[in-house]
Amino acid sequence: MTTANQVLSEVEYDVVGKRPVRPDGVDKVTGRAQYGADLNLTGLLQGRVLRSPHAHARIRSVDTSKAEALDGVRAVITAADLPFASMSKDELGGDYNRFKFLSDNFLASNKALYRGHAIAAVAADNAHIAEAALALIEVDYEVLEPVIDVRAAMQDGAPLLHDDLVHTSAMGEVSEKPSNVASYMKFEKGDAAAGFAQANVIVEREFTTASVHQGYIEPHNATAHWRADGQINVWCSTQGAFVVRANTADVLRVDVSDVRVTPMEIGGGFGGKVSFYLEPVAALLSSKAGAPVKVLMSRTEVFEGSGPAPGSWMRVKMGANRAGKITAAEIELAFEAGAYPGSPVMQGATCAFACYELENGAVEGYDVMVNKPKTSAYRAPGSPQAAFGVEQVVDEVAQKLGVDPVEFRLNNAVTEGSRKVEGPVFQKIGLVECLEAAQNHDHYRTPLSGPNRGRGIAAGFWMNRGFHSSVNMTVNPDGTVNLIEGSVDIGGSRASIAQQAAETLGIGYDEIKPQVVDTDSIGFTMVTGGSRTTFATGWAAILASEDIKTQMVERAASIWDVPAEDVEYDSGVISHKSEELSFTFKELARQLYTTGGGITGTASLDPTGEGNSFGVHVVDVEVDPDTGKTEILRYTAIQDAGKAVHPSYVEGQIQGGAVQGIGWALNEEYYFGNNGQMMNSSFLDYRMPTSLDLPMIDTVIVEVANPGHPYGVRGVGEVPIVPPLAAIANAVEQATGKRMTALPITPGSVLEAEWNGG
C-alpha cells in the first residue's frame, strides 16, 4: 500500500483488518458472475414497459388490443391487472395511501405523475417484438400542467399531484387543504432567538441542489416465473431480497410464502436498488403468459423511471460569538419527494447540525411532491444536501471570525455525550479525531499556491443503521465452514463478513465459504444499505461462530467424556483445561459425522449500537477564469470507520462516495424542459465523473472503535458522500471569491457569478 492511504489503528486482529481477496472475485474478473440480466431459463420471454411521455397527465383510457394482436406477443398488462388499482379508499381504509401509491408506482392507474411513469407492459418472444408492441398501445392522456420545482410546488395554486392528499405535521396537526406538502416536521433545542441575540457574527443563506441519480452501471432488471402451483419465483438485482418479497406479495395480494426471491449479483445500487420497479410487473406478465418473463430497463428508463435523489431548497442561519462558539443555528429544508410522499427530509433534518455542539437550534423540514420519479435512497439520503448548505455557512462564519475552518469546527465539534437538536445523545464518536487527522495531514499542511486555486474542507455525518440480519454456518468435514447469508454483496461484504467469522473461530479466512442465498434459504435479513451490512450481518456471523464454538466444545467434552466446563476453545483449538487433550478445529471437524452429527451455528439478530460515522474531506481546486470549469487538483478523505474490517474495501467506499459527491457538486443534474421532461437521460448528457476528470483520492481511516460492536465496527458506506459538495463549494469560494449556493457548480454558473459579481 502506498502512503496515499493511511490507517490509524487502535487494535490489531489476526484476520479482521487484513486485506484478503474477495471470495466472489474470480467470477467477477472473468465475466462468469451471474447478474440479473445474465439469467436464462427455458422458454424465457422478454418483457418491456410502456412509460408516460408526459410529466403530469390523467389517463383516460389504455387500449392494448393492437399490441395483443401482434405476432410473438404473449401477454400485455396494465394497472387494471393489479388488485389495488380498482380498490376504493373505503375498502383499503388506513392503508389506502401505502398500497395505492405502491401499486400505482408499478403501473399508473388514473394519473401519470412523471415522465417515465409505467403505464403498461408487454411480454414477447424477444425484446424487439416487445418494443414494437409497446408502440401499438394507445393511451388517451389528458395532459396536465406539471410542477417540478420544490418551491413552486409549495405555493398556493400549484398544480396538485394528488387531489385528495392532506398533510400531517410531525406534531400530528392535519391540514384541511390538499397540497403537495406530504408532511412537515420541526425540532427545537434551547432558544434559537436568544442564541442569535448573543452572536457577534450571523450568516444566513439560501441553497438549492438539483435532482441527481445514483448512477449504478447495471440497469434494473427482474425475472419472474409464476408457476402453475401458485409459487412465484423472482430473480432480480436488489439490495434487499426480503423487501422485494414483502412488497411483491403486498402488491399482488399473495402470501409472502408464495414468493421466493433470489438476489442475483448486483451491479451497483447506492440506495437506488432498495426501491424496486419491475418484479410484480414481471410476475403478472408471467402469470398471463404462462412462462417466465425477464424485464429489463434501458438506461433512459433508469433515469426517467427509477428514483433519483431529491432536489432541495434550504435556508440556513448560524450565529457565533467572538470566542468562536456557535450560539444558535437554524435550518429549513424542503425536499422533493417526487410523485409520492417519502423524501429523506427527516434524515436531512437530523444530519444537518449533527457535527456541532448546539445549545440553541431549530430544524424544520417539508416533504414535497413534484412531477418527478418517486425519489429513492442515495447514499446517506438527505445528508449531502443539508451539508451543502450548513458546511458553507460554517465556513463563512469561520471566515468572518478570522478563524481557521478546521479550528472552528474543532472548537464546536460534538463528542461523546453531546445532545442533538432532535434529542439523541452521542455515544463514542470520532469527529474530533477526524478533524485532528485533517489538521495534521500533509495535504492540509502544504500551502496551496498558484492563481485561481482554492482549498476547501467540510465535515459530514451519517447515523448508520443496525437492523435485522441472519447467518447460518455449517462445519464441513474438511474443517472449512459454509457461511450462508441474506446480505447482497455490493462491494466486498462476503469478504468482510467471512473475516469476522474467521476471526471469531480462530481459523483462516480461506476456510470460510460465504454464499448469498434466496429468501427461502436464510432467515430474515434487511437490505444491504444504511451502512449496516458489515456491522449487522458481520455480527450475526460472529454469533453464529460463537454458537459453533459452544457446540464444538460440547462435542469434544462428549468424545473425551468430561464435563463441558472443563473444555475451552482458543484460537481454533479445543482443549481440556488441565489434561493433555486437544483437537484442532480441523481434527474435530473430521470426526463430527461419526460422533453425534454435523454442527451448524445460527444467528438472527437486530442489533442496536451501530456507531455513528463522521468524515472530513479536504479538496484543492483550480477554477479556469475563462471557462469557469472547476478541476479537482488534490483530494483527501478522512473517516472514522470504527475498526476497518477490510481496509481496501473501506478505502473503496470512501473513494467511491467522494467521487459521487464530486459528480454531484460539479456535473450532475436532471435537466428539465418546460414541460417537465428530462432532457439529458443518457450517460452522454448526464455526465458522471470519468477517470480523466479525477486525481487519486487519498484516504485516512481513523479507527475510533465502536463500543457497540464486538470488533468495534462502524458502517462506512454512506458518510463519504456527505462532505464533498460543500468542501468543493468552499474551495471554489477560496479560488474565486464567489459563494456558490446552487448545485451543480457548472462552468456556466461560475461565469455567471463572476459576471454578476454574485
Partner 1 sequence: MPGLVHVTTTINGNQTDFLCEPRQSLLECLRDVVGMTGSKEGCNDGNCGACTVNMDGRIVCSCLVLGVEAQGAEVNTIEGVASAEGLHPIQQSFLENAALQCGICTPGFIVATKALLEAEPDADEARIRHWLAGNLCRCTGYDKIVRAVLDAGERMRAG
| Distance separating alpha carbons of residues 381 and 704, to the nearest angstrom | 24
Q: How far is the CB of 692 from partner 1 (least distance, A)?
A: 4
Q: What character string, x for contact with partner 1 (CB under 8 A) and - otherwise, covers 9-48? A: ----------x-xx-xxx-xxxxxxxx-xx-x--------
Q: What does the block give as the cell for 94? A: 388506513
Return the number of the residue (674 or 690) whose C-beta is nearest partner 1: 690
Interface with partner 1 by CB under 8 A: which range of 51-59, 214-222, 321-329, 389-397?
Answer: 214-222
**Candidate residues 116, 240, 263, 269; the one interacting with partner 1 per rule CB under 8 A:** 269
Return the number of the residue (557 or 662) whose C-beta is nearest partner 1: 662
Contact in structure between 238 and 263 (CB atoms under 8 Å): yes
| Distance separating alpha carbons of residues 696 and 652, to the nearest angstrom | 12
Q: What character string, x for contact with partner 1 (CB under 8 A) and - otherwise, covers 88-127? A: --------------------------------------x-
Which residues, numbered 379-418, are part of the site for partner 1 (CB under 8 A)?
none
Return the number of the residue (40 or 65) whose C-beta is nearest partner 1: 40
- The number of residues that bind partner 1 (CB under 8 A) is 61
**Candidate residues 354, 507, 659, 740; the one interacting with partner 1 per rule CB under 8 A:** 659
**Candidate residues 292, 305, 492, 523; the one interacting with partner 1 per rule CB under 8 A:** 492
Q: What does the block give as the cell for 194? A: 436568544
679 burial level (CB within 10 Å; 0-12, 13-18, 19+)? exposed
Q: What does the block give as the cell for 263? A: 438476489
* End-to-end CA, the chain: 44
Q: What character string, x for contact with partner 1 (CB under 8 A) and - otherwise, covers 679-718? A: ---xxx---xxxxx-x-xx---------------------
| Alpha helix positions (H), 431-537 | 431-440, 442-445, 493-505
CA dihedral 400, 401, 407, 408 (to 10 degrees): -80
Q: Using the rule CB under 8 A, is 660 a contact of partner 1?
A: yes
Max Cα distance, the chain (Å):
88
Q: Using the rule CB under 8 A, is 265 a contact of partner 1?
A: yes
Return the number of the residue (37 or 349) whose C-beta is nearest partner 1: 37
Q: How far is the CB of 715 from partner 1 (least distance, A)?
A: 15
Return the number of the residue (339 or 659) whose C-beta is nearest partner 1: 659
Q: How far is the CB of 238 from partner 1 (least distance, A)?
A: 13
Q: Please give the helix or strand (H or E) that residue 483 lies within, else none.
A: strand 481-485
Q: Using the rule CB under 8 A, is 283 a contact of partner 1?
A: no
Return the number of the residue (22 or 409) whose C-beta is nearest partner 1: 22
- CA–centroid distance for 712 within its chain: 22
Contact in structure between 498 and 509 (CB atoms under 8 Å): yes
CA nearest neighbour of 472 among 460, 485, 481: 485
Return the number of the residue (607 or 657) whose C-beta is nearest partner 1: 657
CB neighbours of 2 closer than 8 A, spacing ≥ 6? none
How crowded is the C-beta side of 613, counted as CA atoms within 13 Å?
36
| Distance separating alpha carbons of residues 315 and 9, to the nearest angstrom | 39
**Candidate residues 508, 652, 710, 747; the one interacting with partner 1 per rule CB under 8 A:** 652
Q: Is the dihedral of CA 651, 653, 659, 664 positive or negative?
A: negative
Return the number of the residue (217 or 425) whose C-beta is nearest partner 1: 217
Q: What does the block give as the cell for 312? A: 432541495
Q: Using the rule CB under 8 A, is 216 a contact of partner 1?
A: yes
188 burial level (CB within 10 Å; 0-12, 13-18, 19+)? middle
**Candidate residues 17, 267, 342, 530; the one interacting with partner 1 per rule CB under 8 A:** 267
Q: Enumerate binding residues for partner 1 (CB under 8 A).
A: 2, 19, 21-22, 24-26, 28-35, 37-38, 40, 71, 126, 128, 214-219, 265-270, 298-299, 490-492, 646, 648-649, 651-653, 655-660, 682-684, 688-692, 694, 696-697
